[in-house]
């Protein structure tokens, strides 16, 4: 097991919040939820959530910037739906590679 210093962990976290990434929760081999983290400041947190369509919710920070997309029903949401939502909130569409964890589910 690798031990990381707190400064190494902080550097890793700062790099993560600068880029978009998808986190998927699985139960018994099936995706039950997912969260698409959007680029944001390290101190940003959700203060408001809005519906983004069937199976989608968008989290916003205190400045009104989108910070993430909750995918509450991964089996029923498509790449195209998420991409359309992202464009609606001023983000670039997902590419196929970013969607791979859910497509494999």
pLDDT tens-digit map of 41-92: 888 899 999 999 999 999 999 999 999 999 999 999 999 999 999 999 999 9
How many angstroms separate the CA atoms of 16 and 8, rounded?
12
Q: Which domain holds residue 52?
A: 20-103
Looking at the domain assignment, is residue 14 inside a domain? Answer: no
Of residues 104, 51, 56, the one with CA closest to residue 80: 56
How many angstroms separate the CA atoms of 69 and 58, rounded?
5
What's the rounded mean pLDDT across residues 8-13?
Answer: 53
Looking at the domain assignment, is residue 57 inside a domain? Answer: yes
Tell me how many domains the chain contains.
Answer: 1
**pLDDT digits 0-9 by tens, 16-37:** 467 899 999 999 989 999 999 9
pLDDT greater than 60 at residue 96: yes
Model confidence at 13, pLDDT cuts 50, 70, 90, reads very low
Of residues 38, 66, 33, 37, the one with CA closest to residue 52: 66
Q: What is the pLDDT of residue 32?
A: 94
Looking at the domain assignment, is residue 48 inside a domain? Answer: yes
Q: What is the pLDDT of residue 8?
A: 59
Looking at the domain assignment, is residue 6 inside a domain? Answer: no
- In order, the DSSP letters of 53-70 are ETTEEEEE-TTS-EEEEE
Q: What is the pLDDT of residue 101?
A: 84
* Residue 42 DSSP code: T
């Amino acid at each position: 097991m690798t031990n990381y210093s707190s400064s190494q962990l902080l550097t890793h976290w700062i790099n993560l919040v600068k880029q978009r990434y998808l986190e998927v929760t699985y139960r018994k081999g099936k995706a039950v939820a997912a969260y698409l983290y959007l680029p944001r400041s390290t101190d940003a947190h959700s203060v408001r959530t809005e519906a983004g369509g069937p199976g989608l919710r968008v989290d916003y920070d205190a400045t009104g910037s989108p910070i993430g997309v909750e995918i509450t029903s991964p089996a029923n949401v498509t790449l195209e739906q998420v991409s359309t939502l992202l464009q609606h909130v001023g983000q670039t569409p997902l590419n196929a590679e970013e969607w791979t964890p859910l497509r494999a589910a």
